[in-house]
Structures are given as C-alpha cells and as structure tokens.
Amino acid sequence: MSDIPQNADQLSKDEIMDEAELKDEARSPVSGMGTAMGAGANLLETAQSLLARKARRGVNIELPAYLSVQATWFIAFGLQMVLFPYLITNKLGLGGTELGLANLALSGPSVVFLLIGGVIAERMSGKSLLMVLHLFAAVPAFFLAYAIATDNLSYPLMIAYGLALGTVGAFMMPARDAILNEVVERRGRLGSGVTLQQGVAFATLAQFAAQITGLILGGYADKMTKMPDWLGGFGIGPIESWQLLTFQGVIVALGSVLAFFLAKGRRVKTGRTGMGAAFGDIAEGFKVVAGDPKLWAMTVLMFGVGIFVIGAFLVVLPIINRDVYGLSGDGIRDMFVTFWLGAFVSSVALSAFKNIKRQGRLLLTAQLLGSLAILPMMTKIPHWGFLTIVFVWGLSAGVSIAMSRSIVQDAAPKDQLARVLSIYQLGFMAGAPFGAAIMGWLVDAFGPYKIAIVPAAGMTILIIWMVIRTPIWNLKNIAAQK
C-alpha cells in the first residue's frame, strides 16, 4: 500500500517533465537556436567594435602621417633653398642673371604641369601619388650629389636638376594640399574638434619647422660653423655638399614610406573620356575660379607675390648675402632660417585660433607690413639689422600663407578642390620664375640696394587694388560666426 502513492507521484512528475519538453520543442524546433543566435550577435558586435576601433586608429594616425610626409618634403626643400643658390653663386662663382635663370628652370615647370597635376590629383589615389612622387623627387638629388663628389658640377647640370625637381613639385603640390581637406573632414566625423583652419595651421607649422631644419643643415655645406661662446664655442661641420644632397634624397624618399599610412581618399569622376578630358577638366576649374570673386582675387594676389616677393627672396637676398656681407652658404642659411623662423612664430600664434572671423583683413595687412619692412634694405645696414628685416618679413609670410590657404580651401568646391588649388598655386608659380628672372637682371644692372623699392611698391599697389576692387577685405569666415 505504501508503494502506490510513491509510484503515482513519480508518474505525475514524469508527465509534467514530458509536457515541459514538448512545450520547449514546440517553441524551438531546432534545439539551441536561440543560444546560437545570441552568440552570433555577440560575435558580430565584437567584430564591428574591433573594425570601428581599427578605423578610428587609421583616421587618428592620418593627420600625424600627413604632417610627417609634409615634413620630409620640406626638410629636403630647406636643404635645396641653401644648396641651390650656394652651388651657383659660391661654388660656380656665377652672378644674379645666371641664378635668376636657374630659378626659372626650378619653378618654370610648374607653369606647364601644375594644372595637369591638379587633374591627376583628383583622378588618382592621393596616397599612391604621393608615394610615387616622393621616390621620383629623390633621383635628381642623388644625381647631383654624384656629380659634385666626382668634380663634375656644371651650370647645365644645375639647370637639369632644377627642371627635374620642378616637374615633380608641380604634381606634388595639388596632391598634397588636397589631401589635407579630406584628413580634417574624416577626423571631424569621429568627433574631432580640429577645424580646417587649424589643419592648415598645423600643416604650415610642419612645413616651416621642417624648412628650418633643412636650412640649418644646408648652412654647414663645405664650411665649419662655430657656435657662440655662450653655447660652448664648439664648431659644427664642414659637411660636404654631396653628402647633404645625398641626405636630401634619402629624407624625401622617406616620405614615400610615411604616405603608406594615409587613406586612399576620394576620386573625382567628371564623366569625360579621351585625350581632351584633362583639358576639359582644367577649363572647368578655370570657370570655377573665374566665377568666384574670392578665388579669382586670391589667384591674382598669389601671382603678384610670385613676381614681387619670391623674385626678391630667391635672387636678391643671396646676392646681398655675398656682395654686401661677404658671406657664403652659412649666410644663406642664417638668412633663410631667420625668415622661416618668423613664419613659424606667426603660424604658432595662428594655430591657437580655431577660426578667425576677418581672414582677408589679416592677410592683406600682413602682406602690406611685410612689403614695407624691406624698404630699409635700400641703405647699407648692419647684418643684424638685415636679419631683423628678414624676420619681420617672415612673420608676415607665415600669416599670409596660412590665411590664403584657409580662404581658398574653404571657398573651393570639394569635388574640384585639387583643380582649384592647382590654379591658385599656378598664380604663385607663374609669377615666381618671371620675378626671379627680372630681379636677377635688375640686381646685376642697378646693384642690390635700389632693388628693394620694386617689390615694396609693386605689392603696395596690388594690396590697395585688393582692398578697393575685391571682396577679400570684407570677407567673413562663416565658421567663426557659429
């Protein structure tokens, strides 16, 4: 009798368990599907998180990588700024006319190839383009280094070097400048507070710091430099010219490696095909620039800067360095370092501002002060006074470069940015070779003292025209008003 309740109870429990199992099977025909789906969702979420984290790292490293690529180019450029005039005026013993023509060869290819470079920069991956161009830029430096090491340096070889490097630079400028806009834009999508104006300021800082480094190194060419007594009085150098040119080639080639960390970037498809496609794209870019008063005014301003400022900078100053102060490569170094140090200081100050409301007024004021600052060069002043003028000129240049780039990058349509930048740069590069050639002839004909009136008067007239006839003076930065 005692077994009956126990069996009944056991039976009841078994029935209950069977019913539960039947219900579970009814809910989920495939055993464990819910668990599997939950595990899959967790795995997908983890994978997406890892991919997002990797993407953020990729975007975050882009700006440092871009600035490093910029630095490699401008360290090499700083070396070239000293070595190129030094080799012509001191090593070969040639005058202002020959130096002016050599600078024409160096900057002239930009007039021919810069617009095509802008079209190519839009159609190709900016990353791949920078990698190739940095490798190409190393070749002329290596060849010139070999020529100097084997005592085969000649003026025609300097012309060939200038043409080769100038051609590479014509394709380099629009590709490098257009990428900056994309880098800042991608960082902004991740919540970065870096504005385009700050991005331009950071790039300008990297440029000036790198140029100063290259200029300092170039000043040790074939001559020992003694430090002041308060720094210990020790000497640095001399470093052979061919060794510095070899380093120039190595450092610019390093930019190809650093460009690997950049994103491929966007490519623009205009719908044009065939041989005339590039010219059609260029013509469209000119229509955009001509139709926008801000872009057109900035292009004209850069043309004037190329003629009046760069001509004096590249030709007149090295001749003053040699004929007035009796200096060689070390003097060119001190002169250019002082200039770019001034530009660096003003760029550091600008980088503290996310947006400046009156960019145009700051630009034109800086241009005017810089132009008037060179007038004391019309008299024989002590070398320290000369360097002081050069420093003030540099302060002006730092503001001018940063503000003009910001205005153009902000005003240009994003799908035609590289083309617009190439036309803007063309204004600068087209004026530079003519300015260098004219200034070279004038300094030989009239001497170094009287020439300062030419760039000062020319830029003053141009700035007055910009204030009266263009919208640049009254330009307001929309981002600064938000």
Give 377's pLDDT tier (boundaries 50, 70, 90).
confident
Q: Is the pLDDT of residue 426 over 70?
A: yes
Quote the tokens at residue 221. Answer: 């060419």
- CA-CA distances (angstroms) from residue 1 to 5, 12, 151, 258? 8, 18, 123, 91
422-437 residues labelled b (16+ CB within 10 A) or e (exposed): bbbbbbbbbbbbbbbb
Quote the tokens at residue 224. Answer: 């020992």
Average pLDDT over residues 390-406: 84
Over its C-alpha atoms, the chain yields an Rg (Å, rounded) of 31
Per-residue pLDDT reduced to its tens digit, 447-482:
777 777 888 888 899 999 989 988 888 887 665 555
Most confident of 106-120, 151-165, 433-447, 448-462: 151-165
Per-residue pLDDT reduced to its tens digit, 336-361:
788 878 888 887 887 777 677 788 88
From 286, 304, 328, 317, select the one nearest 92 (Cα to Cα): 328
From 171, 167, 213, 168, select the one nearest 68 (Cα to Cα): 213
At 54 the pLDDT is 44
Comparison of pLDDT for 328 and 405, the residue scoring more:
405
Give 147's pLDDT tier (boundaries 50, 70, 90).
very high
* DSSP result, 239-260: B-HHHHHHHHHHHHHHHHHHGG
Average pLDDT over residues 429-457: 77
Full-model pTM: 0.66
Fold exhibited by the domain 65-263+277-481: Growth Hormone; Chain: A; (1.20.1250)
Comparison of pLDDT for 269 and 68, the residue scoring more:
68
- CA-CA distances (angstroms) from residue 260 to 70, 95, 115, 206? 13, 42, 25, 18
CA 237 to chain centre: 30
Interacting residues of 119 by C-beta distance below 8 A, sequence separation 6+: 278, 281, 282, 285, 418, 419, 422
Helix axes of 33-86 and 329-351: crossing angle, nearest 10 degrees = 140
Least confident of 177-186, 205-214, 370-379: 177-186
Rounded CA-CA distance 14/457 in Å is 107
Comparison of pLDDT for 323 and 37, the residue scoring more:
323
From 364, 376, 330, 371, select the one nearest 469 (Cα to Cα): 364
**225 bridge partner residues:** 236
Phi, psi of 4 (to 5 degrees): -65, -45
From 73, 106, 102, select the one nearest 173 (Cα to Cα): 73
Rounded CA-CA distance 279/436 in Å is 29
Peptide bond into 238 cis (omega under 30): yes
Q: Is the pLDDT of residue 143 over 90?
A: yes
Arithmetic mean of pLDDT over the chain:
77
Q: Are 383 and 409 in contact (CB under 8 A)?
A: no
Burial of residue 92 (number of CB atoms within 10 Å: 0-12, 13-18, 19+): middle
Q: Is the pLDDT of residue 132 over 60?
A: yes
